[in-house]
Amino acid sequence: MINPDRKIKIIERFSQASGYDQAASIQRVVAKRLADKIKTSFPDHSVRPIKILEFGCGTGFLTEELIHLFPKADITVSDISADMLGRAKAKFGKAQTNTASLTFEIMDAENPPEDSFYDLICSSLSMQWFTNRRESLSRLVKQLNPNGWLWVSTLCDQSFHEWRRLYNLKEWACPILACAEVSQLKSDWPVCGHGEWVAEKIIDCPENGLDFLRHLKKIGASLPQDSVASLSAPNLKTLLKLFDQGNKKITYHIGYGSFEKMPRKGVFVTGTDTGIGKTLVSACLIKAWNGDYWKPLQTGLAEEEGDSATVTRLANLSSDRIILPAITLSAPLSPEAAARQENRVITENDLSFPPLFSSAPLVVEGAGGLMVPITAEKMMIDFIQDCKLPVILVARSGLGTINHTLLSLEALRLRKIPIAGVILSGATNYENRQAIENYGKIRVLAEIPLLDRIDPEQVAAIASEMPAFDDII
């Protein structure tokens, strides 16, 4: 829950930081390093971001770098503090005639405007002040255009550990801002794209402990944690003496996060096995989301009507909501084996993603499981990676599913494929569901019970219990 009182205090501290530019040497270094990393996302000079949002701009260290990197961009420069934004505007407001177009806005990045979309959203050393990081990242990512990038730097958990250690030695509560571990930051990314975090440590050497505390105040970073009382004057004096007797070093543990939004809206439905219920799940998802359907590789047509026809019937879809399969084969075998029987060769061109003319979520259904061969060189998991869609993994609910499901999740994560969640098919098994969620660190989105019949009415009933698309992506 966002704490409005703390936000007000954050704004007040940064508004009072009139000496920020002179004191924020580490912040300047981090902004430059973040800009160098942002540049790697746009190696092709012909593909550059046109619309950029910078949040938490401060006095404009990163703004200056963005102007040099992307001189033809429209850059919205924002901060939650009107005073900080005013300092940045005073610095760059006159540069608009011969460089990037700059717009200055007061903005709370945890609640960005929902009617503006960007090719790049970025910020240097502001995210540690978010009061709800996971939800805020999700909101920011929603404002990215397809294939857009989010780049941020933030303080991580080992920042100021020398100072915290002194509090621990005296068994006092440390008021300095607690920052997230890199592993936690990695788990906060939404599933509608691919996110990474890398970290480094920068060492600062203040003259003494008092110099360090004054530095935090000068840059507006002295706000204590909620419910942690300030030290009494004698205790603070003791702490400063301990620091000055040591090596007088302070670590800044900096995380650099990058996230690329997927180029299309949808999910890829795969399974831990064949015959696991992928087609039924696909029909339910399409019914729930009013989505479109694509079965790229259809085998087994000698024995059945094909999954496109089944989904059309079960979800009551019109023909314009179905994208025809790229490959259709007769034998009920893997695509590679079925194609070989027909003396056909599946090419990369056959597997290219079709053009989309609808804004509805697209449900793509795979054939078999992750390691099913499509060609001699390409497995289903490779094709999933190429599709750039988050995965919904369909798994059995019964005996053996823990092993199969965890192995599948591990394979997807090794390929850095985002996973939206798991759907279990079969009789309810609370123990297996709990194990998959706990050990797989994944959300079970739904459970589809054994059905005495499978028809449009049953699909509609199950669809009504499915989570909304925006709730999982």
Q: What's the rounded mean pLDDT across residues 374-394?
A: 96
pLDDT at 313: 96
449 has binding-site annotation: yes
- Residue ranges, CATH 3.40.50.300, the chain: 266-472
Task: Taking residues 412-435, report their average pLDDT.
Answer: 96
pTM: 0.89
Residue carrying structure tokens 């939004």: 261
Listed in order, the ranges of the chain carrying CATH 3.40.50.150 are: 4-261
- Quote the pLDDT of residue 225: 86
Contact 103, 75 (CB under 8 A): yes
pLDDT digits (tens, 9 = 90+) for 258-288: 999 999 999 999 999 988 999 999 999 999 9
Q: Is 279 within any annotated ligand binding site? A: yes
DSSP assignment, residue 157?
A: T
pLDDT per position as a tens digit, 72-102: 999 999 999 999 999 999 998 765 545 779 9
Band the pLDDT of 115: cuts 50, 70, 90. very high
Q: How many whole angstroms separate alpha carbon 223 and alpha carbon 128?
A: 12
Instruction: Work out whether strand 250-261 and strand 193-204 pair parallel, antiparallel, or are unpaired.
Output: antiparallel
- Which architecture characterizes domain 266-472 according to CATH? 3-Layer(aba) Sandwich (3.40)
* Residue 280 marked as a ligand binder: yes
CA 389 – CA 417 distance, rounded (Å): 8
Cα(455)–Cα(446) distance, integer angstroms = 19
Q: For residue 44, what pLDDT is reported? A: 80
Mean pLDDT of 360-370: 96
Which residues are identified as catalytic? Answer: 295
% pLDDT > 70, the chain: 98
- What order do you get walking across the sheet with 250-261 strand by strand? 101-106, 74-79, 51-54, 118-124, 144-155, 250-261, 193-204
CA nearest neighbour of 365 among 275, 272, 268, 283: 268
Tell me: the pLDDT tens digits for 425-449? 999 999 999 999 999 999 999 999 9
Strands 250-261 and 144-155, bridge-based pairing = antiparallel
Q: How high does pLDDT run on average in the chain?
A: 94
pLDDT tens, residue by residue, 8-51: 989 999 999 888 999 999 999 999 999 999 999 998 877 899 99
Mean pLDDT value across residues 333-359? 93
What's the CA gap between 209 and 207, in Å, rounded? 7
Q: For residue 95, what pLDDT is reported?
A: 53
Compute and round to an integer the Cα radius of gyration of the chain: 26
Any idea which architecture 4-261 has in CATH? 3-Layer(aba) Sandwich (3.40)
Mean local confidence (pLDDT), 112-123: 96
pLDDT category at 226 given cuts 50, 70, 90 is: confident
137 known member of a binding site: no
Q: Binding residue per annotation — 299?
A: yes
Whether 3 shows a pLDDT value over 70: the answer reads no
Max Cα–Cα distance, the chain, nearest Å: 86
Strand 250-261 and strand 292-294: pairing?
unpaired
Distance CA 473, CA 462 (A): 19
CA-nearest of 141, 97, 135 to 119 is: 141
The pLDDT tens digits for 128-185 are 999 899 999 999 999 999 999 999 999 999 999 999 999 999 999 999 989 999 999 9
The 10 Å CB-count burial string (b at 16+, else e) for 226-244 is eeeeebeeeeeeebbebbe
Per-residue confidence (pLDDT) for residue 97, from 0 to 100: 44
pLDDT at 360 over 60: yes
Q: Is residue 278 annotated as involved in ligand binding?
A: yes
pLDDT score of 1: 42
Beta strand pairing status for 266-271 and 101-106? unpaired
How much is the pLDDT for 398? 93
d(CA 155, CA 56): 14
DSSP state of 373: B
Type and span of the H or E element at 309:
helix 307-314
- Average of per-residue pLDDT across 323-352: 95
pLDDT on residue 98? 52
Using the structure block, give the residue that is written with the tokens 């695509």: 335
